[in-house]
C-alpha cells in the first residue's frame, strides 16, 4: 500500500489539488481549510487504524485479487466474516471520531459494481469485469479513498432520466469516442468527495431502455478536467474556525461526512475506466445491492456515535451531580439498549450474508433495510434522551470568548460550575460535544443517508414474503391453501 498511515493520506490530498469551492471561494488545500480539514482528519483515522495492533485485524483484509494485505475499505467481501468485521470496524471508527469517516460509500460501490459487472459480462461477453478488477487492483495497491457517486439531482421527479427538460439532471454520456466517453451531469450529497482520490460514478435508479445514455458506471480521478466540487454548509460550520476549539464541540473531526456537489462538465473517461455503458436492465440490481450494503453500515457507525453520546451524557451527569438519580440511570440504560439493538441488526444482516455469482458476498437485504430503518428512529430518540439529560444550558451557553474574557469569564466559570473538583470548562466542553452531535446535521444524515425511511419501508414490504406468511396462517387455521392473489 503506497498510503501507509493518516499523515500519508493527508499529504496525498495536497498533491492532487481538485477544484473545490466553499462559500463562493476556491479552497486551495482541503487538509488545512477549517471547513474541510475536520472531515479529512476523520477519514485519516481509517488509515491510522491499519497500524494499530488492536484493530489491524478489522482494518485490513487479504486481497483476493493479489493476495496482499489491503485496507478493508478497498476489499471485496469474500464471506460472512468479512461482512461482520466491516460492521465491527465501523463501530470502532464511530467511537474514535464521533463523526462520519466517509469511506463506506466507496466500499459499498466497489462491492456492488464488482458483482454486477461480472453478471453483465456473463450475459453480453463484455469485459467490464476485467476492467473493474484492474482498476480495483490499482485502488488497493495505492490505498486510495473512493467516493461512491450515486445520487443525481433528479430535476422533475415525476419524469425519468431521459424525459427531463434538462438532460444534465442525471449524469449521462454526451459523446462516445474511439478512446472513451464524455459525460455531463452532477451528483449531490457526496460524502467525503472533496477529500477522496477517485470518484466511482453509478446510476441512481433502475432504468428502462430509453435511458441507455444514463446507464453508466465509470471511475474518474477527482482532479480530472471538468470536475468541480462545491462543499456544502453544515450546522455551526463557522465554529470549525481554529479559534473556536471549545464551541466546535468536536473540533478535531467533522460533524457529518463533508458532503459536496460534484459537477461533471464534459468530462472524458477512457474505456478502461468504464464498467457499464447502456445495459439498463442491470441498473436496478446495482442500486439494490449498493443500497443494501450501505444500509447495513448504519448499525455499525451510528452505534459508535451512540456510544460516544451515551458516554458524554454520563460524564455530564457526573459533573452536574445527577448521575445516581433513578430517572437518569433509566434514560442512559435506554440509550444503551437502542444502540445495541441497532448494532444487532447490522451483525445479523452480515451473518445471513450470501455469495453472488461473482463470489462477492451480499448482506441479507431484509435485515439491512430493517437496521437502517431503525437508525432513522433510534438515533433521533437517543439524541432526544441526551438533550433531555443534558438540560437547557446547551441552548443558552455563552461562547468560549465569554469564558476566556477578562471581564466576564469569572462569571461564566462560577455560574456554569457543577460538582466540586470538576472544572467548569469540562462541563462546557462536554456540553458542546453533545450539542454538536444532536444539533441537526448528524440526525439528518441518519434519517436520509442511504435512502429516506420510505425507501427502506418499500424494500421491507417487498422482502416480507407475505404469500408465505399467509400460507402459514391458513395452515394453522385449517383453511385450504388456495393461491394468494
Residue with cell 476489499: 75
| Range 286-471 classified under CATH 3.40.50.300 | no
Spatial neighbors of 431 by CB under 8 A, at least 6 apart, are 316, 390, 393, 394, 397
Q: What are phi and psi of 172, to 5 degrees?
A: -150, 165
Give the other-Cβ count within 10 Å of 352's Cβ. 16
Q: What is the pLDDT of residue 218?
A: 98
The CA distance from 485 to 193, in Å, is 47
Q: Give one DSSP letter per residue of 254-293, joined into a string.
A: -SS---EEEEEEEEEEEGGGEEEES-GGGHHHHHHHHHHH
Higher confidence at residue 445 or residue 356?
A: 356
pLDDT bucket at 441, cuts 50 / 70 / 90: very low
Q: What is the pTM of this model?
A: 0.89
Average pLDDT over residues 356-367: 96
Strand-pair partners of 70: 61
In the predicted model, what is the mean pLDDT of the chain? 91
Report domain extents, the chain.
6-283, 286-471
What is the radius of gyration, based on Cα positions, of the chain?
A: 24
- Lowest-pLDDT choice from 126-130, 154-158, 193-197, 460-464: 460-464
The CA distance from 394 to 90, in Å, is 29
pLDDT bucket at 371, cuts 50 / 70 / 90: very high
Query: Is the separation of the CB atoms in 437 and 316 below 8 Å?
Result: no
Cell reading at 186: 452532477
Q: What is the pLDDT of residue 464?
A: 73
Convert the pLDDT of each residue in 190-240 to its tens digit. 999 999 999 999 999 999 999 999 999 999 999 999 999 999 987 777 777
The CA distance from 237 to 252, in Å, is 13
Convert the pLDDT of each residue in 22-56 to its tens digit. 999 999 999 999 999 999 999 999 999 999 999 99
* Most confident residue range from 134-148, 313-327, 453-467: 134-148
Q: What is the pLDDT of residue 448?
A: 44
Q: Which residues of 163-183 are buried (b: 16+ CB within 10 A; e: fewer)?
A: ebeebbbbbbbeeeeeebbeb
Query: Is the separation of the CB atoms in 255 and 234 below 8 Å?
Result: yes
pLDDT bucket at 440, cuts 50 / 70 / 90: very low
Query: Is the separation of the CB atoms in 362 and 353 below 8 Å?
Result: yes
Among candidate residues 70, 47, 148, the one with its CA nearest the CA of residue 104? 148
Q: Which residues are catalytic?
A: 100, 104, 191, 259, 294, 298, 301, 445
3-state secondary structure of 174: strand
Cell reading at 205: 435508479
3-state secondary structure of 170: coil
Q: Does the pLDDT at position 451 exceed 80? A: no
Residue 216 per-residue DSSP state: E
Q: What is the pLDDT of residue 444?
A: 43
Helix and strand tally (H, E) in the chain? Answer: 16, 14
Superfamily in which the 6-283 domain is placed by CATH: Butyryl-CoA Dehydrogenase, subunit A, domain 2 (2.40.110.10)
Amino acid at each position: 500500500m503506497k498510503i501507509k498511515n493518516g499523515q500519508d493520506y493527508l499529504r496525498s490530498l495536497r498533491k492532487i489539488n481538485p477544484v473545490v469551492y466553499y462559500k463562493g471561494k476556491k479552497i486551495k488545500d482541503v487538509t488545512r481549510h477549517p471547513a474541510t480539514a475536520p472531515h479529512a482528519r476523520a477519514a485519516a483515522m481509517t488509515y491510522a487504524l491499519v497500524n494499530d495492533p488492536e484493530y489491524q485485524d478489522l482494518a485490513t483484509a487479504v486481497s483476493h485479487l493479489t493476495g496482499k494485505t489491503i485496507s478493508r475499505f478497498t476489499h471485496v467481501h469474500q464471506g460472512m466474516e468479512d461482512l461482520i468485521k466491516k460492521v465491527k470496524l465501523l463501530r470502532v471508527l464511530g467511537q474514535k471520531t464521533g463523526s462520519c469517516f466517509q469511506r463506506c460509500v466507496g466500499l459499498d460501490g466497489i462491492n456492488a459494481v464488482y458483482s454486477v459487472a461480472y453478471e453483465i459480462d456473463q450475459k453480453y461477453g463484455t469485459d467490464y469485469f476485467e476492467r473493474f478488477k484492474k482498476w480495483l487492483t490499482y485502488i488497493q495497491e495505492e490505498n486510495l479513498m473512493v467516493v461512491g457517486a450515486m445520487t443525481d439531482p433528479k430535476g422533475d421527479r415525476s419524469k425519468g432520466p431521459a424525459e427531463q427538460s434538462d438532460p444534465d439532471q442525471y449524469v449521462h454520456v454526451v459523446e462516445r469516442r474511439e478512446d472513451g466517453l464524455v459525460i455531463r451531469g452532477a451528483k449531490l450529497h457526496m460524502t467525503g468527495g472533496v477529500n477522496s482520490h477517485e470518484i466511482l460514478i453509478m446510476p441512481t435508479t433502475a432504468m428502462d431502455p430509453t435511458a441507455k445514455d444514463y446507464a453508466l458506471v465509470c471511475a474518474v480521478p477527482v482532479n480530472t478536467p471538468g470536475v468541480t466540487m462545491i462543499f456544502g454548509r453544515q450546522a455551526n460550520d463557522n465554529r470549525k474556525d481554529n479559534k473556536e476549539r471549545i464551541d466546535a464541540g468536536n473540533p478535531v473531526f467533522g460533524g457529518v461526512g463533508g458532503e459536496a456537489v460534484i459537477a461533471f462538465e464534459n468530462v472524458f473517461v477512457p474505456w478502461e475506466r468504464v464498467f457499464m455503458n447502456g445495459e439498463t436492465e442491470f441498473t436496478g440490481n446495482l442500486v439494490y445491492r449498493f443500497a443494501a450494503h450501505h444500509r447495513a453500515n448504519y448499525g455499525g457507525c451510528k452505534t459508535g456515535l451512540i456510544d460516544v453520546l451515551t458516554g458524554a451524557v454520563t460524564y455530564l451527569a457526573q459533573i452536574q451531580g445527577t448521575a445516581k438519580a433513578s430517572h437518569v440511570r433509566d434514560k442512559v440504560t435506554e440509550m444503551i439498549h437502542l444502540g445495541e439493538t441497532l448494532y444487532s441488526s447490522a451483525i445479523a444482516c452480515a451473518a445471513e450474508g450470501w455469495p453472488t455469482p461473482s463470489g462477492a458476498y451480499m448482506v441479507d437485504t431484509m435485515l439491512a433495510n430493517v437496521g437502517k430503518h431503525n437508525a432513522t428512529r433510534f438515533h433521533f430518540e437517543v439524541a432526544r434522551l441526551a438533550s433531555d439529560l443534558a438540560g437547557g444550558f446547551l441552548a443558552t451557553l455563552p461562547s468560549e470568548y465569554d469564558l476566556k474574557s477578562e471581564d466576564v469569564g469569572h462569571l461564566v466559570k462560577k455560574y456554569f460550575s457543577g460538582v466540586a473538583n470538576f472544572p467548569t470548562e469540562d462541563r462546557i466542553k462536554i456540553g458542546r460535544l453533545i450539542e454538536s452531535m444532536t444539533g441537526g446535521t448528524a440526525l439528518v444524515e441518519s434519517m436520509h443517508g442511504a435512502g429516506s425511511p420510505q425507501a427502506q419501508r418499500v424494500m421491507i414490504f417487498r422482502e416480507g414474503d407475505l404469500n408465505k406468511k399467509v400460507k402459514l396462517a391458513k395452515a394453522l387455521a385449517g383453511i385450504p391453501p388456495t393461491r394468494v392473489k
